[in-house]
Amino acid sequence: MTEQLALTIGGEPLVPPTEAAAAPPSRRRGFAGFSWGQIAGGTALVAALLWGGWATRELMILKERRIVSISLAGMANDFIMAEARSGASPEQVDSDTRHFMAAMQRTLQERAAAGETIVVSEAVVAASMPDITPEIRAAVGEFIKRNPPPRVATAAPAPAPAMPGMMPTAPVQAPPAANPVFGGGGLLPGGGQ
């Protein structure tokens, strides 16, 4: 009764003989039935797909950024000129300068965080990007109006020189601007310039 019924079509058996099925399968080296080459190839393919997705996302983020320019030298020069005309004490000029620089830095950081790449216009060769200097000047002016610089007490007058003919004269003060921003000068909106 060990005979099995064999189905044949055209003399060829449909099911292989049982002796071939009893042979031990060849053992593959690797993991989970895959060869090491297949595992390495699959890992490389997954890594390439992940990198491609990440690179595409980063390029789309860069494409959304707006490149603008600002004339920092012009703004700084205007501020220095306004402070020179203000007749304020050196201590007050120092305080005003620190406050102005902090306000400008804060304004530029806010613009950069909003997705703008800011380039100094003095370094731009072609005028192919918009100039935001007036916008920054207005924003800094508004910030300073809301947060005025601290007023510094003037120092005691210097002692009289030993030679009376060498006595310093008092500086001539300019009339205050209609809406002073820094020590009586008029750098920002409302004060001229």
Q: Which two tokens stand for residue 61?
A: 């983020």
Rg from Cα positions in the chain? 40
Start-end of H helices in 114-177:
133-146
* CA separation for the pair 28, 39 (Å, rounded): 13
Residue 54 has pLDDT above 90, yes or no: yes
* CA separation for the pair 92, 84 (Å, rounded): 11
Q: Which two tokens stand for residue 149?
A: 């610089």
Residue 45 has pLDDT above 90, yes or no: yes
Contact 136, 108 (CB under 8 A): yes
Predicted confidence at residue 43, as pLDDT, reads 95
Grade residue 26 by pLDDT with cuts at 50, 70 and 90. Answer: low
- Kindly list the structural domains of the chain, giving each domain's residue range(s) and its CATH number in brackets, ordered by start: 66-152 (3.30.910)
First to last CA, the chain: 114
pLDDT exceeding 70 applies to what percent of the chain?
A: 68
Contact 144, 82 (CB under 8 A): no
Grade residue 179 by pLDDT with cuts at 50, 70 and 90. Answer: very low
Tell which residue, 183, 188, 173, 185, has the closest CA to residue 91: 183
**From 5-9, 41-45, 94-98, 134-138, the region with the lowest mean pLDDT:** 5-9
Q: What's the chain's average pLDDT?
A: 77
Contact 1, 10 (CB under 8 A): no
Residue 157 or residue 38, greater confidence? 38
Predicted confidence at residue 131, as pLDDT, reads 87
